[in-house]
Chains A and B, each alone.
Chain A
């Protein structure tokens, strides 16, 4: 029963995305499948633009998070220093900060310093989503690496930086890929930041899809096709990170 509840909506969405507008109102499951909806969707070029916007800001946000987050996760895992747990908690608390509270003042500031409706503005605010994931998940993976290995390499004469690149990075690579993909999914899915901190220039697929339904179109098939296209990357990515999913979703609190 639950499987039906969980999966049927997706199946049905996929189904009607292949249904022609003519057959939309008088058939349920039996109809002549057509690619018409996808063709119309892509022929305008508009939707491809939204899709590319989404790819650009999501990839940008995750890359930025990796660059600053991997060293931060390492520092939080390896060193003992004053205020360590407070700092770690601060990063975690971003995950729980109400989006709307961040948006209201940022809306004002972004408009003043010209970041409103820019890709960079979105990438920056998306750090609130992706950075906690990267830092907390990778912190757990770094803690799993025995300091002995690092010490041994240091004794052999490798510099700290070389040890980090040659020993640590390969060991956490699977975790890093999983954390990156998971934060990519959640950044991709974000709606509130994209709706309110971007206007005409940087429209993402989630925002565009909502506009579709409120614009009184009766092209349900196209809508379904748009939804399918924006959901597809996530479903594929989800299958890739099966093994790390538990650890990722609980931000490293559960070592699944």
Chain B
């Protein structure tokens, strides 16, 4: 009672802080609550925008447990029926196999080719400088457009590749139309589009390498392969992992190249998981049965990326730390 009007001795300068807080509040450091909330407030718009897209994602888990169809208004809860149906369908396992094959071959070829080309371009000649600039063009072109270009080139009546093959006596190469060469054709287009991605990343890694260890290796007379294996490779490993991560994640869910070239055909030769889900949802109009195909792919991609990212951050620490 008696302390009213008098500053509380236990809180020094309490009145001072109060007095200056009201008139010009932007001159003093923000109060703790605002400081804590500020990063979240700044992030809020970006979060809101993406939550709008994430909500459908959770809805899709629910719909995968129903027999929702674009054909009828009503739908009912069917439990795990869609899931068990998918897992017992041999076509599902075929799709998994196609998806993995596609990702394995395209990523594998792109990594090997990308590393090789990057090693060759890692010189300061005028030619390699110019090539570094133009070789990224395929990467900038839409995969669908790239597919169209290849389709035109292999077209039997006007295609230049078809012409070249004919002139050396091969005239029954059917590319995407033949089950035997369909996978080769789509992987070829994927390789054409995405190898520059690996080249660009590996080149950046090669160019940032320190010079000294390589000079001493040269003095010691190590062979080129030995230097590459013991010096270059460990040093650019984090970079290779990043390239691998991006390529695997994206090739596992590739839709546009396969769709543009063959629509998943001939027959169901190229029916990867995204193509099958597309078919279920937009050809048969069954949303309920389409969703499990994509959910299972997403779970797989999520787990794989989680481990690859952890492995990458460890590799990066090793490369820069010790």
List residues of chain A with CB under 8 Å of any chain B CB: 2-3, 5-7, 9-10, 12-13, 16, 24-25, 28, 64, 67-69, 71-72, 74-76, 78-79, 81, 84, 87, 89-91, 93-102, 104-109, 124-125, 127-128, 131, 135, 157, 159-160, 185, 188-192, 196, 206, 209-210, 212-213, 220, 223-224, 227, 230-231, 234-235, 237-239, 242, 245-246, 249-250, 253-254, 256
Contacts and interface: CB of A to CB of B under 8 A. Distances in A.
A76 B136 CA distance: 30
B291 to A, nearest CB: 6
A98 B299 CA distance: 10
Given A72-B46, A210-B144, A220-B152, 5 more contacts: A2-B113, A98-B252, A100-B278, A191-B143, A249-B201
Interface in B49-70: 49-50, 52-53, 56-57, 59-60, 63, 68
A239 B43 CA distance: 32
B46 A9 contact: no
Q: What 6 pairs across the A-B complex have the smallest Cβ distances?
A: A189-B142, A105-B56, A101-B294, A72-B46, A79-B39, A256-B204
Contacts of A124: 49, 52-53
A250 B142 contact: no
Interface of B: 26-27, 36, 38-40, 42-43, 45-47, 49-50, 52-53, 56-57, 59-60, 63, 68, 113, 117, 131, 133-146, 148-153, 155, 157-158, 160, 163, 192, 195-197, 200-201, 203-205, 208, 239, 242-243, 246, 249-250, 252-253, 255-256, 259-260, 274, 277-278, 281-282, 287, 290-291, 294-295, 297-298, 301-302, 305, 309, 312
Contacts of A100: 253, 255, 274, 277-278, 294
B167 to A, nearest CB: 10
Given A68-B46, A127-B49, A231-B145, A105 B204 contact: no
Q: Tell me if B's interface is mostly helix, strand, loop or mixed.
A: helix
Nearest to B59: A105
A209 B148 contact: yes
A10 B142 contact: no
Given A12-B153, A128-B53, A96 B301 contact: yes
Contact of B59 (A72, A84, A94, A109): A109
A28 B163 contact: yes
B142 A81 contact: no
24 contacts: A6-B137, A25-B158, A74-B42, A75-B43, A81-B40, A89-B309, A101-B277, A101-B291, A105-B57, A157-B27, A159-B26, A191-B142, A191-B255, A209-B145, A210-B260, A220-B155, A220-B158, A238-B136, A246-B201, A249-B201, A250-B239, A254-B204, A254-B242, A256-B208
Given A98-B274, A102-B57, A209-B145, A6 B152 contact: no
Q: Tell me if A's interface is mostly helix, strand, loop or mixed.
A: helix
A155 B125 CA distance: 50
Contact of A235 (B43, B137, B201): B137
A7 B163 CA distance: 18
A188 B142 contact: yes
B39 A16 contact: no
B135 A87 contact: no
Contacts, number: 236
Contacts of B27: 157
A188 B242 CA distance: 24
B297 A245 contact: no
Contacts of B205: 254
Contacts of A135: 46
Nearest to A218: B157
A191 B144 contact: yes
Contacts of B47: 72, 87
Nearest to A95: B249
B287 A108 contact: yes
A96 B250 contact: yes
A10 B36 CA distance: 53
B60 A104 contact: yes
A26 B231 CA distance: 54
Contact of A9 (B40, B56, B153): B153
A12 B36 CA distance: 58
A81 B157 CA distance: 63
Contact of A246 (B139, B141, B150, B200): B200
A157 B138 CA distance: 50
Contacts of B152: 13, 16, 220, 223-224
Which of A69, A131, A250: most chain B CB closer than 10 A? A250
Nearest to B48: A68
Contacts of A192: 255-256, 259
A3 B144 contact: no
Contacts of A191: 142-144, 255-256, 259-260
Contacts of B151: 213
B282 A196 contact: yes
A21 to B, nearest CB: 10
Contact of B305 (A78, A93, A109): A93
Given A10-B149, A25-B158, A104 B208 contact: no
B255 A104 contact: no
A128 B274 CA distance: 18
Nearest to A212: B148
